[in-house]
């Protein structure tokens, strides 16, 4: 029995590694299940040779029919005819689809060599054949169920949401390409992801009927589980708590590719009733393609039926732009013909049309995303470097794009000796600057930064798009002559070529009037280098900076010339003084240590970003001063002292009730979450500890010193820590030892704080007599947890009144946060969701590390790291799947 269990476990683990290992996902299709049935033919029969022909025809037709293809090999004796089809999952690249069909047909010819009917499922595709025709009919047997073994806690409400969302997904799939995906919010921090797909030979009503059956089978397969699928031969459904369907790999697209490369298209669901519409639409397309190179300037003002717009990537020579638009009009007119709206994306261009007048409006859907969500970095440090570099570069571009009249900006950023990150952002030129920024920010907000892998990605909206790669995929604006034959007007000074937008209005009258948007750029004949964009960018912001800037004289007056009696603190970043401004405001003045070699402009830029950070649980930023080598930051002064003042003092600790402590934990978590995820810049605090948590008069916690982490960081080699700033006792092992910081190092510090808040004890003190190194607060808490006497750690001064459930959740969160492996620690998003609803079961924590010798003093410290190494990377929180074949 035991060995049987172990065997089963092995199968599970093997399956898991198949599912998550990036290289495998990228190149090897993931086999799920197959079934041979229908009786056997004999070796060497006509049927068998027909089957061979059929399977190879399926394979041959994969590149041309990415997604779906059916075929028949007929025989005079109808019992020897073979019918077959393949279907790939959703929008996977054709290369993956082909690989999958290849593997599937091979496996079928060996495993089901004599069977008259067979079906085989992979993650990426399904292949099926039979001796009877099954096209356009619904088959629901054999069926396969797969489930993710983790349990959902609030089963009832979850299943209800699941059915609701699945029904909507199925409705959409039935009419829209026989494939649809939908997301639904479970809570503010967690989403449900659903997919439904039918073979495209089904009619919409048959498709919906098939999907209804599959949805109805979800309880059979996956009741109460956090993920699952039901696979029928004619349709399938899947749901997960993570976006499993965006694993698409970017198509081949090398530097300066000449090929336009089709990505995706979406047609609206409504078919137009207007018979003139089709006629006008085809006129529109022919005008768009023939006018793709011309620069004309027409006026608007006519009755309208259809509007169109295209946008080429900003660096393209017009020859390639024209080629792409030509291809796009052909393809969209055959694929979206007779639908009211459509959009098509290529690597080189985007083209859309609608019955609505959509110019100058921000449109964020439909969206098309190619993101690698599987971590392929060799270590945490590399991942951090990437996240840091990407967010920073994107932020720069989002600020710069609205200021570029072409609405096209690119930026490269050196990651390390061997890798450079190239990032592009572009809006359609009809958008106003603010709308362009709004559109790009929406993309940014929806990027799952902490999950991104490194083979590049793009997110395409109808109104704007972002792309990043580790190779240069756009033409360098500084270099001339990579493309040839751009029209003169686009070549001006050769700095950056402009994409064109044509907007065409077709009136209902016979006479067709066409107009093209007037480009600001052409009119003003201004070209900008990347440098001047930055300069302008900065100029634009200097208006914002002005009210934030204080002169040194004012600060000196406020702090009595930085007198010692005004000094209220000293940290790794410099010293802190209390001051009173002219207007009577009390402020905390942080004087950065002189060693910072940061340039003036970088400092200002950082200040500007920090000034935009506003959250109820962050101390308010007031301003800065930059004079004579002084770099000073000014924050609101929060009078009610810091958390440690209450927590670690035997006289005052009873002043903090359990509910106040619980609120403090929640507030701090939300503050950190904001720093990590919800603000446009990602800030890793790096020195979270009770003395940096200030309490206002209502005991609302406010994180202080958050901007310092960033300011100090910026003068280092992007994310590559050459000195460690922090406090022993709160520093994660990987940070203290190797200087690797990430959100997860903040999570560690947060965990220590949570345990301190619960116990009222400081991490660096020891509780029982030395047990080697295991004498810190963490080991004390761990031992009580292990021995199931966990409530005994609760601070005696709150023992009279507390919620046991809240305490237990907080302890478990605390322990999860202080695990050694940074990847095992929950993200702040998870932590906040654990605290705000109990839908999701908490994982069990691993034993924390006790690298801190309880004797260490909790003084701030700055030191050179002894070495830089890496923490072994482990993949967790990934789905464990299990079969339920039938």
Ligand X SMILES: *[C@@H]1O[C@H](CO)[C@@H](O)[C@H](O)[C@H]1NC(C)=O
Residue 569 Cβ vs ligand X, minimum distance, rounded to whole Å: 47
**Judged by CB under 6 A, how many residues of this single chain contact ligand X?**
38
- Using rule CB under 6 A, residue 142 touches ligand X: yes
- Using rule CB under 6 A, residue 883 touches ligand X: no
Toward ligand X, which CB reaches closer, 197 or 404?
A: 197
Contacting range for ligand X; rule: CB under 6 A; set: 135-143, 378-386, 594-602, 634-642: 135-143
Q: Is 687 one of the annotated active-site residues of the chain?
A: yes
- Using rule CB under 6 A, residue 64 touches ligand X: no
**Helix, coil or strand: residue 419:** coil
Q: What is the DSSP string of 114-173?
A: TEEEEEEEESSEEEEEESS--TTS----S-EEEEEEEEBSSHHHHHHHHHHHHHHHHHHH
- Using rule CB under 6 A, residue 270 touches ligand X: yes
- Using rule CB under 6 A, residue 290 touches ligand X: yes
Alpha-carbon Rg for the chain in angstroms: 31
- Using rule CB under 6 A, residue 259 touches ligand X: yes
CA distances to 610, 619, 747, 853, 861 from 726, rounded to whole Å, are 20, 19, 14, 16, 6
Contacting residue, 61, 95, 191, 212, with ligand X by CB under 6 A? 212
- Using rule CB under 6 A, residue 72 touches ligand X: yes
Contacts 24+ apart (CB under 8 A), 207-213: 207/173, 207/174, 207/178, 207/235, 208/170, 208/171, 208/174, 209/138, 210/138, 210/140, 210/234, 210/235, 211/170, 211/173, 211/174, 211/235, 211/237, 212/170, 213/140
- Is 278 labelled as part of a ligand binding site? no
Instruction: Scan residues 324-363 and list those touching ligand X (CB under 6 A).
Output: 326-327, 330
Residue 769 Cβ vs ligand X, minimum distance, rounded to whole Å: 38
- Using rule CB under 6 A, residue 154 touches ligand X: no
CA distances to 101, 340, 358, 408, 521 from 437, rounded to whole Å, are 42, 28, 18, 12, 18
Residue 374 phi/psi, 5-degree rounding, is: -110, 125
Contacting residue, 71, 130, 410, 691, with ligand X by CB under 6 A? 71
- Using rule CB under 6 A, residue 74 touches ligand X: no
- Using rule CB under 6 A, residue 575 touches ligand X: no
Contacting range for ligand X; rule: CB under 6 A; set: 287-295, 382-390, 443-451, 535-543: 287-295
Residue 29 Cβ vs ligand X, minimum distance, rounded to whole Å: 6
CA angle 371, 98, 263 (to 5 degrees): 40
Query: What is the CB neighbour count within 10 angstroms for residue 569?
Result: 17
**Helix, coil or strand: residue 343:** strand
Residue 385: CB partners within 8 Å, gap ≥ 6? 415, 416, 718, 719, 720
- Using rule CB under 6 A, residue 581 touches ligand X: no
- Using rule CB under 6 A, residue 75 touches ligand X: no
- Using rule CB under 6 A, residue 137 touches ligand X: no
Q: Comparing C-alpha atoms, which of 684, 677, 784, 788 is closest to residue 732? A: 684
Contacting range for ligand X; rule: CB under 6 A; set: 290-298, 386-394, 550-558, 850-858: 290-298
- Using rule CB under 6 A, residue 562 touches ligand X: no
CA distance 478 to 529: 7
Toward ligand X, which CB reaches closer, 202 or 754?
A: 202
CA distances to 392, 401, 458, 624 from 606, rounded to whole Å, are 11, 19, 27, 11
Residue 823 Cβ vs ligand X, minimum distance, rounded to whole Å: 20
Toward ligand X, which CB reaches closer, 128 or 685?
A: 128
Residue 813 Cβ vs ligand X, minimum distance, rounded to whole Å: 18
The torsion defined by the Cα of 543, 548, 554 and 558, in degrees rounded to 10, comes to 170
Residue 103 Cβ vs ligand X, minimum distance, rounded to whole Å: 4
Residue 451 Cβ vs ligand X, minimum distance, rounded to whole Å: 23
| Residues of the chain by 3-state class (helix, strand, coil), percent to 5 | 40, 20, 40
Contacting residue, 153, 191, 287, 455, with ligand X by CB under 6 A? 287
List the catalytic residue out of 438, 687, 705, 746.
687
- Using rule CB under 6 A, residue 23 touches ligand X: no
Cβ(228)–Cβ(214) under 8 Å?
Answer: no
- Using rule CB under 6 A, residue 70 touches ligand X: yes
CA distances to 42, 49, 128, 404 from 109, rounded to whole Å, are 14, 11, 12, 57
Toward ligand X, which CB reaches closer, 139 or 836?
A: 139
- Using rule CB under 6 A, residue 163 touches ligand X: yes
| Residue positions forming the annotated binding site | 591
Residues near ligand X (CB under 6 A) are 28, 31, 35, 37, 39-40, 70-72, 102-103, 106, 114, 135-136, 141-142, 149-151, 163-164, 167, 201, 212, 259-260, 269-270, 287, 290-291, 294, 296, 326-327, 330, 514
The catalytic residue positions are 687
| Residue positions forming the annotated binding site for ATP | 591
């Amino acid at each position: 029995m035991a060995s049987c269990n172990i065997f089963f476990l092995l199968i599970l683990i093997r399956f898991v590694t198949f599912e998550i290992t990036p290289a495998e996902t990228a190149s090897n299709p993931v086999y799920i299940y197959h079934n041979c049935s229908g009786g056997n033919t004999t070796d060497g029969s006509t049927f068998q040779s027909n089957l061979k022909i059929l399977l190879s025809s399926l394979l041959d037709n994969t590149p041309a029919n990415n997604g779906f293809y059916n075929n028949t090999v007929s025989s005079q004796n109808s019992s020897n005819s073979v019918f077959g089809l393949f279907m790939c999952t959703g929008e996977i690249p054709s290369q993956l689809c082909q690989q999958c069909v290849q593997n599937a047909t091979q496996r079928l010819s060996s495993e089901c060599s004599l069977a008259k009917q067979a079906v085989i499922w992979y993650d990426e595709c399904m292949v099926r054949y039979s001796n009877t025709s099954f096209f356009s009919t619904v088959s629901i047997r054999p069926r396969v169920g797969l489930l993710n073994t983790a349990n959902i806690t609030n089963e009832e409400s979850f299943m209800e949401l699941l059915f609701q969302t699945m029904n909507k997904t199925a409705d959409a799939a039935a009419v829209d390409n026989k494939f649809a995906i939908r997301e639904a919010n479970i809570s503010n921090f967690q989403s449900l992801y659903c997919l439904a797909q039918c073979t495209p030979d089904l009619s919409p009503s048959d498709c919906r009927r098939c999907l209804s059956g599959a949805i109805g089978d979800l309880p059979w397969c996956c009741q109460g589980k956090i993920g699952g699928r039901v696979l029928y031969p004619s349709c399938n459904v899947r749901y997960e708590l993570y976006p499993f369907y965006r694993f698409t790999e970017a198509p081949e697209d090398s530097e300066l590719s000449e090929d336009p490369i089709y990505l995706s298209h979406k047609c609206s669901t409504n078919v137009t009733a207007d018979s003139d519409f089709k006629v006008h639409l085809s006129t529109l397309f022919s005008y768009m393609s023939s006018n793709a190179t011309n620069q004309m300037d027409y006026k608007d003002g006519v009755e309208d039926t259809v509007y169109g717009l295209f946008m080429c990537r900003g660096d393209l020579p017009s020859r390639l732009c024209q080629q792409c638009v030509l291809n796009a009009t052909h393809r969209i007119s055959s694929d979206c013909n007779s639908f009211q709206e459509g959009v098509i994306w290529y690597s080189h261009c985007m083209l859309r049309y609608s019955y609505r007048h959509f110019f100058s409006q921000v449109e964020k859907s439909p969206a098309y995303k190619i993101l690698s969500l599987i971590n392929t970095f060799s270590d945490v440090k590399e991942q951090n470097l990437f996240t840091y570099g990407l967010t920073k570069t994107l932020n720069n571009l989002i600020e710069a794009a609205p200021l570029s009249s072409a609405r096209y900006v690119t930026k490269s950023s050196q990651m390390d000796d061997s890798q450079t990150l190239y990032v592009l952002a572009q809006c359609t030129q009809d958008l106003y600057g603010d709308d362009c920024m709004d559109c790009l920010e929406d993309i940014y907000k929806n990027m799952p930064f902490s999950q991104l892998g490194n083979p590049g990605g793009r997110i395409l909206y109808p109104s704007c798009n972002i792309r990043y790669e580790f190779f240069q995929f756009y033409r360098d604006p500084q270099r001339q002559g990579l493309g040839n034959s751009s029209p003169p007007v686009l070549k001006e000074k050769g700095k950056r070529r402009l994409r064109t937008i044509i907007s065409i209005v077709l009136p209902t009258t016979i006479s067709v009037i066409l107009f093209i948007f007037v480009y600001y750029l052409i009119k003003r004949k201004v070209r900008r280098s990347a440098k001047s964009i930055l300069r302008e960018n900065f100029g634009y912001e200097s208006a914002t900076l002005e009210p934030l800037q204080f002169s040194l004289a004012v600060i000196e007056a406020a702090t009595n010339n930085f007198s010692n009696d005004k000094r209220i603190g000293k940290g790794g970043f410099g010293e802190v003084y209390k001051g009173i401004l002219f207007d009577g405001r009390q402020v905390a003045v942080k004087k950065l240590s002189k060693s910072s070699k940061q340039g003036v402009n970088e400092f200002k830029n950082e200040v500007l970003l920090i000034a935009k950070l506003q959250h109820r649980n962050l101390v308010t930023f007031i301003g800065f001063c930059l004079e004579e080598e002084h770099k000073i930051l000014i924050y609101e002064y929060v009078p009610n002292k810091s958390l440690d003042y209450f927590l670690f003092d035997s006289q005052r600790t009873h002043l903090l009730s359990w509910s106040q402590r619980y609120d403090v934990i929640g507030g701090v978590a939300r503050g950190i979450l904001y720093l990590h995820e919800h603000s446009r810049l990602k800030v890793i605090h790096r020195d979270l500890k009770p003395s940096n948590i200030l309490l206002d008069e209502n005991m609302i916690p406010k994180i202080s010193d958050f901007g310092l982490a960033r300011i100090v960081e910026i003068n280092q080699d992007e994310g590559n820590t050459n000195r460690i700033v922090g406090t022993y006792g709160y520093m994660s092992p990987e940070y203290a030892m190797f200087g690797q910081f990430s959100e997860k190092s903040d999570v560690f510090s947060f965990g220590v704080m949570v345990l301190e808040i619960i116990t009222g004890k400081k991490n660096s003190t020891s509780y029982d007599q030395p047990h080697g190194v295991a004498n810190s607060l963490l080991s004390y808490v761990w031992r009580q947890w292990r021995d199931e006497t966990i409530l005994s750690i609760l601070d005696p001064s709150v023992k009279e009144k507390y919620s046991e459930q809240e305490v237990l959740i907080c302890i478990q969160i605390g322990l999860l946060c202080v695990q050694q492996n940074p990847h095992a620690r929950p993200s702040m998003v998870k932590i906040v969701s654990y605290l705000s609803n109990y839908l999701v079961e908490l994982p069990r924590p691993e034993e924390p590390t006790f690298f801190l010798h309880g004797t260490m003093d909790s003084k701030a410290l700055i030191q050179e790291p002894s070495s830089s190494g890496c923490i072994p990377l482990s993949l967790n929180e990934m789905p464990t799947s299990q079969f339920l074949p039938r």
